């Protein structure tokens, strides 16, 4: 059986975790034996999301095509330090107006780095992560919004518009 805090079977790597990174995994029997069925705590009724699919043990009912994370940390959008503005309120308002939140998640984040590049945006989808920076013009944010609408309508993340090709960065390699 092995260590009771680790599953006795390998978890697939594409879930972002490995068996070594998992400390506790609850299956349906464990949930019932611990008296957690019908639990409606902070996570909501998560016990109903468990199913027999072993690709990714934890399930969500809210499937998105992608997530756009806008850095608004220590540097990005800090106009007091002479850096370009990040139009956070406009983005949040437009995302709501256009009904994007349930399909293309918008996250306004603290610092995501790298701090030597202003106004960083991280785009995440099932196919990977893209980083862009130096988003300094309002029209670039408008273009991101319009691209997000096209992604929602297509049901998948599309290629970034050409205007962002020069803005691509990788904080992980030089």
Please say whether the beta carbons of 174 and 125 come within 8 A. no
Q: Is residue 110 within 8 Å of residue 72, measured between CB atoms? A: yes
β-bridge pairing 104-109 and 128-132: unpaired
Given this model, what pLDDT does residue 90 score? 98
Kindly report, residue by residue over 125-146, the tens digit of the pLDDT.
999 999 999 999 999 999 999 9
Which pLDDT value is given to residue 169?
A: 95
Spans of all domains in the chain: 1-61, 66-169
pLDDT in tens, 145-172: 999 999 999 999 999 999 999 999 999 8
* Predicted pLDDT of residue 35: 44
Superfamily of segment(s) 66-169 = Glutaredoxin (3.40.30.10)
pLDDT confidence of residue 63: 86
Residue stretches of the chain with pLDDT short of 70? 1-54, 174
Q: What angle do CA 50, 53, 55 make, to 5 degrees?
A: 115
Q: Cα separation of 96 and 90, whole Å?
A: 10
């Amino acid at each position: 059986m092995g260590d009771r805090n680790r599953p006795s079977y390998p978890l697939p790597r594409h879930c972002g975790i490995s068996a070594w990174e998992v400390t506790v995994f609850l299956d349906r029997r464990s949930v019932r034996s611990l008296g957690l069925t019908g639990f409606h705590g902070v996570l909501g009724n998560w016990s109903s999301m468990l199913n027999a699919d072993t690709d990714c043990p934890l399930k969500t009912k809210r499937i998105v095509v992608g997530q756009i994370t806008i850095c608004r940390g220590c540097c990005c959008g800090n106009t007091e330090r002479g850096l370009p503005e990040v139009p956070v309120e406009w983005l949040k308002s437009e995302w709501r107006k256009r009904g994007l939140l349930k399909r293309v998640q918008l996250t306004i984040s603290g610092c995501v780095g790298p701090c030597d590049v202003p106004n960083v945006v991280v785009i995440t989808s099932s196919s990977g992560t893209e980083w862009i920076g130096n988003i300094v013009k309002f029209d670039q944010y408008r273009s991101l919004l319009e691209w997000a609408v096209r992604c929602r309508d297509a049901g998948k993340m599309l290629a970034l518009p050409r205007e962002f090709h020069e803005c691509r960065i990788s904080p992980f390699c030089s």
